[in-house]
Amino acid sequence: MSVVAITAKEINDNIVEKKNLFILDVRNEDDFKDWKIEGSTVQHLNVPYFVLIEDVTLINDKLPKNQQIAVVCAQEGSSKYVAELLNEQGFDTAYLEGGMKSWSEYIYKTTVYQDANMKIYQFIRVGKGCLSYMIVSGEQAIIIEPLRFVDMYSELAEKERVKITHIFDSHLHADHISGGYELAKRCNAKFYLMKSEGAIFEFEPLENYEKIDVENVSIEVLAVKTPGHTPGSVSFFVNDKILFSGDTIFVSGLGRPDLGGKAREWAKDLYNTVYEKVSKIADDVIVLPAHYADFSSEVNEDGFIGNTLGNIRKQNEIMQGQTEDEFVEHVAKSAATSTPPNFENILAVNKGIKHVSQEEIAEYEIGPNRCAVHHVHAG
């Protein structure tokens, strides 16, 4: 039996469909602990490549005999070689095509919401936990939290027979490269961002807008202090039905206010955001964040990452009934200590002050997001 390749899409389909998946990850232990393919039906075995090339039979008794084994490494070469060795031992093996780089870049789309005024698509970048959106209304399309893979937006817009006219970033992301500026140039669209974020290229400062109307869509710009990485973040409230919450509110928690080194000071601003602004938004509003931490627990029965604000409030006691002191103390204790890998380089690229190759960008982005990993819960 010859060794076959398995794609990131096929692995993701198995996870979404909750099929059992056995992964032999041959990267170094530290890399594996830091970032791996996760899912409720995924079983892992991590044995570094250098151990296996000495004697692959060392792990024979740890491998399933009647199930395909997906072998994973960073780039592809090592996993393919190990898969071949195991194949010779009689195991059913496949190697991840393109390695973890391909997992990092795999994206699929799903429909989130549709009514007479708009249709919303969600783009899920599963290996990074990044979420991006297209709103289609009339003959126009709006992109929110654009990823750098801009072709997928152009292709969907062409399929929907609409023109991309407005592009929004809630803040300067620290874990991935934004495609906003490039997409705006390509489509001759307006790119909106807070001026206070420090970008040096041409864009529309969100400070100048309280509301932006596009076809049958009304976008209310909610200035949000220090929800995730930055003091210049915003959320977008669309047609009083959908809250694009950036890195302020996640399906299972609140954004981390600690990356600027001012956890307690910024937690006070986050308290005001949650208790003054968010508290006035109705329970039935659907929250669509910019990131997620765990697909299996955060994807809903309709297949997208999102939930009603009422359900999120119920799951997070800290969002109601807390004094400012209680809230700040809890958030400060929950603040993460680890920062996104390469976040300074990524921010520099997103600000337009650093220009690098596509290969360097891909390298910067390897690894997990750390925006939605450390949620803030009460108790």
Distance CA 223, CA 193 (A): 11
Distance CA 282, CA 238 (A): 13
CB–CB of 206/236 below 8 Å?
Answer: no
Q: What would the two tokens of residue 1 be? A: 């039996």
C-alpha distances in Å from residue 219, one per residue of 144, 153, 209, 233: 11, 20, 10, 15
CB–CB of 348/291 below 8 Å?
Answer: no
Residue 49: name the closest of 58, 38, 39 by CA.
58
Residue 254 identity (one-letter amino acid) = L
Q: What would the two tokens of residue 292 be? A: 């997620």
C-alpha distances in Å from residue 72, one per residue of 8, 25, 94, 207: 11, 5, 9, 45
Residues 85, 86, 90, 96, Cα dihedral to 10°:
-110
Helices and strands counted in the chain (H then E) = 13, 20
- Can you spell out the DSSP letters for 132-149? EEEEEETTEEEEES-BS-
Does residue 371 carry a catalytic annotation?
Answer: no
Question: Exactly one of 73, 130, 187, 371 is catalytic; which is it?
Answer: 73
Q: Where are the beta strands (DSSP E) in the chain?
A: 4-6, 21-25, 42-46, 69-72, 93-96, 107-114, 119-125, 130-137, 140-144, 163-168, 190-193, 204-205, 211-214, 217-224, 233-238, 242-246, 249-250, 253-254, 286-289, 307-308
Residue 194: name the closest of 184, 185, 202, 204 by CA.
204
| Pairing label, strands 249-250, 242-246 | unpaired
- Can you spell out the DSSP letters for 54-77? T-GGGGGGGS-SSS-EEEE-SSSH
- Active-site positions read 73
